[in-house]
Structure 1
């Protein structure tokens, strides 16, 4: 408990608290709102209560096991900022400030006092209003924050290790057939989304890879298209931002694919149209995004949020099945499988870093391999002739 005494100032009682922060003694004056006359006993009771409930504030950058867990999370965010990718950091900020920090601030638990049951109760409460996947994200953040506290000797164990995470909620992506894909192409003809959708569906590109496509990635002479940049969107402290990176999601995401079919003509038409737009618009043209493939007549780059929201809306408007833009990537993989392309080749086409990622998502679609397996078993294992499975009463009911 901190030290404290009563002080009178301008006829009113104040509780004066004092503590040592390691370097010098700190004091804090707290007005009690009690007039001096006749309130000494009340003031003493109030002082005792304030002293017992007061938590010594932690100065910025001064981490301690006795600081509130809510405060520790905010401090840890600043420490983790330097090593996290901007999109990951943005996600952590959103989840901590909107849910984790407010919940634990109300509980007034210090880092030292935090137990597995407190975290489990938090998950149980949140599962009433959010999906299990969101709680799994909460768990990843809390576990990582506590791991740092263990590493820096503030606490002796990571209590998040003792907590049961919820089971990941199943999500079934939409897989379009070749016929459905053709209908979609027809429906989007002439719209701003036509070419981005064609590219995503044929090459299986992620949204960020589509938006990050630049002219220097398309080699018209060699007939190749290189996936080497991304444009992603984040919401940091309420502000929408787009992040340009001269690198793909992983090393395996960096890939060069053939410029096949009509795509060479598509891109040449777009390039020619952009040059004309520059001449017509003059100084009004936005050269900030010069070099990007997907810009409008004024040079404004296609926004990530526009693809995410407008694509499913347009499909519904055209009477087609609603799906996410990312489902074009899944549909690409399913069409490759349907045409006999091995999973290993699909992994390379999509730019998955690990074969298991491709197998976990798409193996259930590989029906041709199941037929091959059945045929192999049939030829390698002789089954007995049919018989003996009829009803014991067969032959008796005909009379």
Structure 2
């Protein structure tokens, strides 16, 4: 269209191209914000991981669009009145949503409006002129060494036993546990390689498992020592799987023969099973309630309390940024705090001691 009008001007059919009179940044070409962010979401589907896209979709389709759609704000309205965005954040906070959830919505809105700015639909990004909620520092519950020892005793024989041990001792994420394959175990050199993951995502309304031959980040791809107790457990599981396959015959699922964590019928354990079953197990056995992911925190806490440096813990857990290790996992147990207090007392002047 633009080329045709320019051609007409060049041939003196038109004095001035009318396209120049249309400024996409002005209200004479209004685009509803909800229409734009919906189109932007469709574009992002082919540009990001499916798990990232489903996260965008949940926020935009189920939260952001329903709020803004009745208001009929255009992109230009949003640019001229950043308060409209601020009002949305406050509305969500007043409904009881956490600041971290609203920050997630902010990231979606800002990224969408940044694209609108880049292609000339608006002259600035209004999301840069709002007050983003302050991120809440997460405080997780963890298990002490004694509590983990008790957990290991009562968890024996439970379907979550393997997952619990791998999370508590190795600090593995549930996606890494479910994604473990037999070729990741080097029995000869006593090593475990973390390089394959299985995650769940809601695709077109259906919860789907996605297997990926890579980890969350490059740093998450790591090799850990295979301790004797874990080696014994893995060899036992291998024999059990071989026996189950013989007993079940054709009924045995052969789709996941290369995976370690499967049920007696050969089906791979779902990542959601661990996070859903584990709290119920704790309640049934009258143990302190923690999330499954908190076993990873517990692992980090014990490593720290036993003298491992933050750098070593970062490498063990597979964090890409040491600040993540520092901010989340430096949980000192009480005995460590007592030792620290005693060390300080010893350097106090004599007249300050009781």
Shorter-chain TM-score bucket reads: 0.7 to 0.9
Query: Residue 52 of structure 2 is aligned with which of 72, 88, 111?
Result: 88
Consecutive unaligned residues of structure 1, counting only runs of 5 or more, are 1-19, 24-63, 390-399
Aligned residue for 1:34?
A: none
Cα-Cα RMSD: 2.6
Report the count of equivalent residues.
Answer: 327
Structure with a larger share of its residues in helix: 2
Distance 1:249 1:135 in 2: 23
Q: By how many angstroms is 1:354 displaced?
A: 1.3
CA contact (8 A) 1:116 1:159 kept: yes
Aligned residue for 1:288?
A: 255
Aligned residue for 1:363?
A: 330
1:310-360 deviation line (CA, Å, top 9, x unaligned): 111111111001111110100001111121111111111101111111111
Aligned residue for 2:74?
A: 110
Aligned residue for 2:144?
A: 177
Aligned residue for 2:62?
A: 98
Is 1:204 aligned with 2:168? no
Query: Residue 91 of structure 2 is aligned with which of 112, 115, 125?
Result: 125
Query: Residue 124 of structure 2 is aligned with which of 129, 153, 157?
Result: 157
Distance 1:123 1:65 in 2: 27
Q: Secondary structure of the equivalent of 2:112?
A: helix
Q: Larger C-alpha radius of gyration, 1 or 2?
A: 1
CA contact (8 A) 2:142 2:290 kept: no
Q: Give the TM-score normalised by the residue count of structure 1.
A: 0.77
Q: By how many angstroms is 1:370 displaced?
A: 10
Higher relative contact order (CA 8 A, sep 6+): 2
Distance 1:65 1:237 in 2: 33
Query: Residue 351 of structure 2 is aligned with which of 365, 380, 386?
Result: 386
Distance 2:29 2:228 in 1: 62
Consecutive unaligned residues of structure 2, counting only runs of 5 or more, are 5-27
Structure with a larger share of its residues in strand: 1
Is 1:73 aligned with 2:40? no
Aligned residue for 1:302?
A: 269
1:58-107 deviation line (CA, Å, top 9, x unaligned): xxxxxx96221111111001111222121111011011111101111111
Q: Secondary structure of the equivalent of 1:244?
A: strand
CA contact (8 A) 1:213 1:229 kept: yes
Q: By how many angstroms is 1:363 displaced?
A: 3.4
CA contact (8 A) 1:209 1:227 kept: yes
Distance 1:248 1:385 in 2: 55
